[in-house]
Homo-oligomer: A and B are copies of this chain.
Amino acid sequence: MIAVKVSEKSIRRLSHYARCLRLAKLRGELIMTSQQLATNCGISSAAVRRDLSIYGEFGKQGSGYNVNDLLVNIEDILGTTNPPPVIIVGAGSIGCALMDSGLDGTGGYIYDSIFDNDPAKIGKKCGEKIIQSTDEIKNVLEVNNEIIAVIAVTGGAGQQALENLVQAGCKAILSFTLEPLRAPENVEVRYVEVSTELDVLTHSIRRKERVN
């Protein structure tokens, strides 16, 4: 497998293919065609083949792709064969709901620990984990700095949470905050933006087709 320049859209689709393949595997299917993957993911079969051919030749002409082999290959491309642990910063309703919902069936991610800076919460339980002080974050990252942090704090404390994480050596952050966060170049920050999704949906149901 030869690594190539990254396209986020392609990586996103690979993630979807992996999810499809895991479900197919559970159903006991051994082979999938690009057409089947395409239908499952709502795109064209040509797009699927194009995505996969960027990284290698995983299919067999006339039959399709071996479910297990392709899954292994995609996980290798994504780097998710042994996914990094995920920590949650902020033990409010969102943070605890995430912890509670778990990450099963998503490809091996697990919520490793949860942190908050409210003394009233520290030591209490959230699901099966005990809420730790945010001061402990640096200790967790000292052991393994290849973790993903989910920021689920409220009320404008996102930037502070981010800086604490970056200070501790964190390189990947998924934020539920509304505020856009400032991070160093080498730290990857992504957002779950419910309100943007709502805007897109609103536009979709209300768009006025006043063309000309």
Interface residues of A (CB under 8 A from B): 1-6, 8, 11-12, 14-16, 18-19, 40-42, 77-80, 83-84, 86, 92-94, 96-98, 100-101, 103, 105-107, 109, 146, 148, 154, 171-174, 178, 180, 188, 190, 192-212
Contact = CB atoms under 8 A, between A and B. Distances in A.
A103 B178 CA distance: 10
Contact of A197 (B3, B101, B171, B192): B192
Contacts of A209: 3
Interface centre among A2, A4, A97, A190 (most CB of B within 10 A): A97
A198 B192 CA distance: 11
Contact of A200 (B1, B105, B190): B190
A119 to B, nearest CB: 21
Identical chains in the assembly: 2
Nearest to A190: B197
Given A6-B203, A94-B97, A97-B94, A198 B211 contact: no
Contacts of A198: 83, 86, 103, 106, 109, 148, 174
B195 A103 contact: yes
A2 B195 CA distance: 25
